[in-house]
Amino acid sequence: MTRRRRVYEGKAKVLFEGPEPGTLVQYFKDDATAFNGEKKSTVTGKGVLNNRISEHLMSRLGEIGIQNHFIRRLNMREQLIKEVEIIPVEVIIRNIAAGSICSRLGITEGTALPRAIIEYCFKSDDLNDPLVSEEHITAFGWATPQELDEIMNLSLRVNDFLSGLFTGIGIRLVDFKLEFGRYYDGDEVQIILADEISPDNCRLWDMATNEKLDKDRFRRDLGGVEDAYQEVARRLGILPEG
């Protein structure tokens, strides 16, 4: 990984210049952070598992026509991706109440929501990723109304597909976060799914026991973080080699 120019370093991932123009290498670290970086630690093996899990989910989504940045996995911790211009909005899709919606609206964790709810947060570490509305997104030009429509449609399609996929392996997809980017392909600009989809940015509960199989184990000091991620990978049929 030292052989490439570092383009960006986030809390759990590093982006390096890719081998061809328009590509990047996404490296998955073992670092875990919560509460906007206030809580920090490392979870041994997390990066390897997230690389595999995100590869699997992005590939399945690609197969049903949901364009995304994943090209191919390079090794245990790295994947080749398409370079995109990231839209500075985190898209959160919720099926069951958990996390911030519970504290914000006084809903009991575990309450099924009447329908999938989409929320948007402005991507800003300094501001703690504040919740914003569609109005903010279009008024401040973070995305055009057409782009936002596309983002909403894609998010609901991702939710439908992933909810079914996880149900098939006895896991409830409670909520998750997506990021999108503009992919410039010649004269064409396309909104595609970016970032990662892993237990770091999804809430995943075992359907039989309600056991948490996601980053809440780290956030809430429940222990067994790596085991939980490993269990998700095992059920997806993709335990990492080696």
Binding site for ligand C5P (CB under 6 A): 90, 92, 99-100, 129, 175-177, 201-203, 215
Rounded distance between C-alpha atoms, residue 176 and residue 196, angstroms: 11
Radius of gyration for the alpha carbons in the chain, expressed in angstroms and rounded: 17
Q: Sign of the CA dihedral 22, 23, 29, 33?
A: positive
For residue 109, give the H/E element and its range.
Answer: none
Quick one: tokens of 165?
Answer: 């996929």
Rounded distance between C-alpha atoms, residue 93 and residue 90, angstroms: 10
Residue 19: CB minimum distance to ligand C5P, A: 28
For ligand C5P, the closer of residues 18 and 212 by Cβ is 212
For ligand C5P, the closer of residues 18 and 90 by Cβ is 90
Q: Which residue is nearest to ligand C5P (CB)?
A: 99
For ligand C5P, the closer of residues 105 and 208 by Cβ is 105
Residue 240: CB minimum distance to ligand C5P, A: 21
For ligand C5P, the closer of residues 35 and 186 by Cβ is 35
For ligand C5P, the closer of residues 7 and 117 by Cβ is 117
- CA 176, 179, 133: angle at the middle one, nearest 5? 85
Residue 119: CB minimum distance to ligand C5P, A: 7
Residue 195: CB minimum distance to ligand C5P, A: 9
For ligand C5P, the closer of residues 175 and 231 by Cβ is 175
Residue 223: Cβ-neighbour burial (10 angstroms; 0-12, 13-18, 19+): exposed
For ligand C5P, the closer of residues 75 and 124 by Cβ is 124
Question: Quick check: 120 and 139 in contact, CB under 8 A?
Answer: no
Residue 51: CB minimum distance to ligand C5P, A: 16
- Establish how many alpha carbons lie within 13 A of residue 93's alpha carbon, considering only the half-sphere containing its beta carbon: 22
Rounded distance between C-alpha atoms, residue 241 and residue 77, angstroms: 12
Residue 99: CB minimum distance to ligand C5P, A: 2
Supply φ then ψ for residue 156, to 5 degrees.
-70, -35
Q: Sign of the CA dihedral 124, 128, 131, 133?
A: negative
Residue 120: CB minimum distance to ligand C5P, A: 11
